[in-house]
Structure 1
């Protein structure tokens, strides 16, 4: 059907829809039926309302585009897009860089604009400024920030959450406190969404209370009758937020990060690195990686350390440390777990595991690595001068700490 109508006519149809004419009105003068007009609108990326006098969802295309603080680019205006349309329609169409130079924007901005908002017509594409601007405005409206992005309202909500108000109580009190200010009112569902959906989240990290809700939940209770997935109860009370604050700045030694480096045939080694000195301990697993075996190897690795150097261990959420409470009773060293998919929270260990892979590339079967060979790898890692230690070695740093602890006792 598109071959029967020119691009000029089709663009005029789309512009009329943007300006508020109905499908029936447009069909009355363009020569195409209402169904065809609706199909053109959908192919142009417009949201169409059905019905005899249906049209496209309106957008505030006349709204001024305000500059965004901190952005290195500016949004294109309708005038900008009109210039792009004209430049592309010249007998010798302008290139992207020439258009960008005239508009004072980057060439990539113009290139993305043309490719994102062009409309397929026949075997080619057409670009119309009003249609492109409509689509851009609709896209921005679809992803505009939520109500709690307003700092004043957000502060009122956070203050009441910290005072242990429920979301319903907050919504009700704000309505009474600000009866004539709709911008200072928010529904309880919006508050729940900010607590549940946005991260354990964008709102939760501003709270001073441990539990934002009396239930203590950080997510919706599933309505399905199927049994819920395991929540790894052994993580409770042992998450990173429960770790002593002194572990964060590396000023106090004795805080370690750990992980497994694994290979085929259920082989692997346990890696530990001390956060202050970067001292590395390695322990080979005996052909199995269950929790009891891992914690046994881990306990033997730190057995000889003074108590002052066995303060905490930080691990990821792997099930190999599910029996960490038994390990803590045995060694006196508590284990804390990072957030899911957050390897940077134990970045020293991640870096160390990369160094270990220099010795044992991926695919290494650790069942064939001897204890002597592993001990030599540990020695080489610990005598290596490190820039972060002012080119001193982890061995020297840990030896000084141990000697200092011995003198103090």
Structure 2
């Protein structure tokens, strides 16, 4: 006779004497927890089932994740009379609400407890999204888990068994893993031939799938090729392997996500989304857009300011350099020449030359708003003006040779040019009207 391994000799529940009456799922919770504890302690399914007082079939269904709560719900009798055939009684389960699992410290990987929950809910025909919501996981995580770790059967059928799924996941987790290219000489030669032809890793991988459609051992993803080049190469070999790539990099360059980037400046930026709405419709003058046009070898620059409503242009003289301090001082000097009602805001990109934006705002009382990365259209007037200025300051030339007087002359010539967007008025005429009004 089996004896319970508890140190107290008794369990915190009473083994049922009569098993012909359905007890409901809640009455078996303690038995189920004790069953799993005994299985983990080394008892067989039959022995653990006998110790907790359930049938061995019930224990197997608990262990395999096929426990169906409908078998333990209190049945509701529904009598139907069929003429000429008598009276029939149909038992229907009582609808109930699924109780979510209690919250625990969640790991990156699915736990055995979560896999048991997945198996139970799949047995109940629950949708993937409902299971994911109950576990606090992404639906793709649950779908991928079922697809990877299910047990395939005959005729396209499959079953999800939590303990078998846990064993498969544990077997795949250990690192390091043997590299596919290292252990397959035929695959390694095929990849090398593609690199000799100056193919990219992605082109090599797709070519292999077309060349060997029925040989999965010859199929790799481009990340596998990159890992073989970046990880296995050492010294001179690393330089040779990296030379086969178009970028010529000998190691991987991480790409950070937008929400993981470090702050661009020491002082926090105010983004263009917080800019006043009056600046968007260009009805109120005094909102400016700014940027730099860069000279030869990034050694010289000229600052540009464009008023959004009138397209009036002002140029910043930067004879020595275009560091943050030089740009800050040139901006402050230029903005101080404007009347108060033309100093409402300044929009700039996230270039390093605006690191002193906070000091500029304190000195001039002009707020600075920054565009989103890679969004030049948010400063469309300034980008268009920079293109016009290249007629006077061609690319690849030294911009430090231009004097303050020459910059003023170029700005005045642009401000006298009729503009289609202003109904063929000049920026100077439009600004004069606004100042007079």
Q: TM-score, normalised by structure 1?
A: 0.44
Q: TM-score, normalised by structure 2?
A: 0.42
- Larger Rg belongs to: 2
